[in-house]
A = this chain, B = another copy of it.
Amino acid sequence: MLDKLFNPRSVAVIGASQKALSIGNVITKNLLKYSYKGPIYPINPKADEVCGLKCYPSVGAVTGDIDLAHISIPAKFTPDAIDECGKKGIKFVIINSAGFKEIGDAGLAIENETLQRARQYGLRIFGPNCQGIINTDPQLRAYCDFTFTYPEEGHVSIVAQSGGVGALYMQAIHDLGVGMRFYASNGNACDISIPEILRYYGDDEKTRVIILYAEGFADPGDFMDAAREVAAKKPILGMRSGRTAAGAKAAASHTGGLAGVGLSTELIFKKTGILAFRDVEEMCQAAMAFATQPIPKGNRVGMITDTGGPAVIATDELCDAGLEIPPLSEKTTALLKEKLFPEASVRNPVDVLATAAAPHYRAALDVLMDEPGIDSVYINFVTPPFVDTESVAKEMAEVSNKRIKPIVCNYMTDKPQWTGTTAYMKEGGIPCYDYPEMAAKALAALTRYNALKSRPKTAVTVFSDVDRARAAEIIQQARNTDRKMLAADDVYALLGSYGIPVASCRMARDADKAAAEAEKIGFPVVIKADAADLVHKTDAGGVALNLNDAAAVRKAIAAMKKNITTPDLQFLVQQYLPGGREIIIGAKKERSLGHMIMFGIGGVLVELLKDVAFELTPVTAAEAEAMLRSVKTYPILAGYRGHKGVDQAQLITIIQRISQLVTDLPMIREMDLNPIVTFEDRVVAVDARIIIS
């Protein structure tokens, strides 16, 4: 429980100082400036007084209890300071000082020593190399941080390991006039973790929406558990960065190469129900809407505008985001005709005209709140100097406060002049945006959250017709021979043992055997060369397609033997399946996360456009189906313009079976089924690669 960390009844600042530009000084000043309600104990053996407060030589010298201590002295003195805190019975310390893990081995040693000592006292560490926490509760006003934004009380809580980004979020929320509940930035996070903080926010009644910044996770599994638990209770808005950083090491498979940097964070967000953003401003602006507005039940927007151009811009943005501005019902249209100016447009967008007064807006809002074909309301409101805009805002606020459907507003005004109108908008909790695109994006985020929450939920299917023992045995045998890439026949046997349809095939050492196997399989066949070190068999001339008789098989094998000279050369004889659409499905192991499963439509779409979908194991049927639907060229699967589609149900099953396979056999590092040849009623893997560790 982090209660005393976020609700400290008293705070000590070890390293408090008179020096204006020191961290200990800034923290003491912040506690004072924010009117912290508990006692503040500056600790500094060399000072009698800091910022007008009595200063103590050590925490031991303080007579009262201390709930929380800041440590802002050089890193090397920190372990001893921990001893003192432990002896005093302090349960939480925030170590603001730098000089720990982030500077290398020497710092890491101090960090470990610090943590070890803390554990002896049951003392929890926040940090080191961090900012701290803020609690805006008016009964407490704990500003235990050296940042510079002094937020109002509110319902948005922020957690970010990176202090720079955390401070950026806090300032953005503050500049938007949105109140904050908690702030936490835990830097090196040697003890108290993001998942713990998330859970604390999840249990906090006053926190309505959480903003999270992630650059990576020490324990992804723990994070996922916490995120899933908290996201079920309230919206978490998350951002990941580092998406373009060079350096995704060249991987041995398509799946590895296409995943890119930091993708797993995005997949974790999706899987646990965190709403993902890629832009700071967009996320913070969305948080403003989440803090006051209900969640829409669908994507149908009713628009009210008093100006033309911005409505066009908003329409573009909403449609780009997949929202609709549908026609209104006859009843609604008739009501609008009755209540608006005769020149007003009563279609959707509803143009009330620049001269519209309060009753017009009220009528339009009431009608849209009643209209069953509308899920949310977007308002473009420019404040004409010839309109009583305060009464307009008053009506908007009244409707907004009923919380029937979400409202966002592109509020186009000069705020220093329109203070009265602006105050009414705020009173009504109407999220006001300076730009039509921003208002549209915020509404799109609310709508996207509804879609995320109402995703079809299916349980993970467990296929009982699999032969796990056989699969494990195949892998163990390969390991025994130090083979990293499984032999072709092993690959097909392994896939077969998990019920994944593969083209009939047999392995052959020479041309005679190959010709005989081909007769059994039936012509036409394919011959593929196989050897432990043969990674790119096509490039090496090791693939011969569409062989129609034994002579052709012999000829192909003779040619391959010339090109490829490894002693362990074998030949896979396989049924040839011409035509069909090529699909690629793969898996790649992720540290502490199981595997990432990939789906894509083969050929140029995967190679040049990277039009692929990813999901973390275990993949449910609903998730597998969503993967298929999320590729841009999904119509290829569904059928389009006279082209027949493919057997999607089978692909969905294969994705799930592969998910089960790699979950059962985590020693599979990477695998590709490439291609899976698909037809209207049939799906067959004709080439595959499995790499084990």
Residues of A within 8 A of B (CB): 21-23, 25-26, 103, 146-150, 160, 162-168, 171-172, 174-175, 213, 215, 241-245, 278-281, 307-313, 315-316, 319-320, 343, 380, 382-388, 412-414, 417, 434-438, 539, 604-605, 607-609, 632-633, 635-636, 640-642
Shortest C-beta distance, A280 to chain B (Å), equals: 5
> What is the CA–CA distance of A633 and B611 in the complex, to the nearest angstrom?
12
CB pair A167 B280 closer than 8 Å: no
Which chain B residue has the least Cβ–Cβ distance from A239? B313
> What is the CA–CA distance of A103 and B435 in the complex, to the nearest angstrom?
28
Shortest C-beta distance, A406 to chain B (Å), equals: 22
> What is the CA–CA distance of A263 and B409 in the complex, to the nearest angstrom?
28
- A168-B310, A608-B632, A608-B633 given; name 11 further pairs at CB < 8 Å: A21-B386, A103-B343, A149-B414, A168-B309, A171-B414, A171-B434, A213-B309, A241-B313, A244-B316, A281-B437, A608-B635
Q: Which 4 A-B pairs have the closest CB atoms?
A: A164-B307, A162-B309, A165-B309, A244-B319
In the bound complex, residues from chain B placing their C-beta under 8 Å from that of A312 are 162, 215, 241-242, 245
| Also in contact, A243 and B386, with CB within 8 A (given A281-B434, A309-B164) | no
> What is the CA–CA distance of A655 and B56 in the complex, to the nearest angstrom?
82
In the bound complex, residues from chain B placing their C-beta under 8 Å from that of A632 are 608-609
Shortest C-beta distance, A15 to chain B (Å), equals: 12
> What is the CA–CA distance of A243 and B435 in the complex, to the nearest angstrom?
17
| Also in contact, A281 and B438, with CB within 8 A (given A213-B309, A244-B320, A316-B241) | yes
In the bound complex, residues from chain B placing their C-beta under 8 Å from that of A166 are 309
In the bound complex, residues from chain B placing their C-beta under 8 Å from that of A307 are 162-164
> What is the CA–CA distance of A162 and B641 in the complex, to the nearest angstrom?
40
> What is the CA–CA distance of A28 and B320 in the complex, to the nearest angstrom?
42
> Which of B146, B384, B435 sits near A386, CB closer than 8 Å?
B146
In the bound complex, residues from chain B placing their C-beta under 8 Å from that of A382 are 164, 167-168
Which chain B residue has the least Cβ–Cβ distance from A410? B168
Which chain B residue has the least Cβ–Cβ distance from A538? B642
CB pair A171 B280 closer than 8 Å: no
CB pair A21 B388 closer than 8 Å: yes
> What is the CA–CA distance of A309 and B161 in the complex, to the nearest angstrom?
9
Which chain B residue has the least Cβ–Cβ distance from A380? B164
CB pair B171 A413 closer than 8 Å: yes
CB pair A308 B171 closer than 8 Å: no
In the bound complex, residues from chain B placing their C-beta under 8 Å from that of A21 are 385-388
> What is the CA–CA distance of A293 and B609 in the complex, to the nearest angstrom?
36
In the bound complex, residues from chain B placing their C-beta under 8 Å from that of A171 are 412-414, 434
CB pair B165 A313 closer than 8 Å: yes
CB pair A280 B435 closer than 8 Å: yes
| Also in contact, A434 and B309, with CB within 8 A (given A412-B167, A608-B632, A608-B635) | no
Shortest C-beta distance, A186 to chain B (Å), equals: 13
Residue in A215, A385, A417 with the greatest tally of chain B CB atoms within 10 Å: A385
CB pair A434 B172 closer than 8 Å: yes
10 A/B residue pairs, CB under 8 Å, sorted by A = A147-B385, A148-B385, A148-B413, A148-B417, A164-B307, A171-B413, A280-B313, A281-B435, A539-B642, A609-B632
> What is the CA–CA distance of A382 and B308 in the complex, to the nearest angstrom?
39
> What is the CA–CA distance of A160 and B146 in the complex, to the nearest angstrom?
46
Shortest C-beta distance, A91 to chain B (Å), equals: 27
Residue in A319, A343, A414 with the greatest tally of chain B CB atoms within 10 Å: A414
Which chain B residue has the least Cβ–Cβ distance from A104? B343
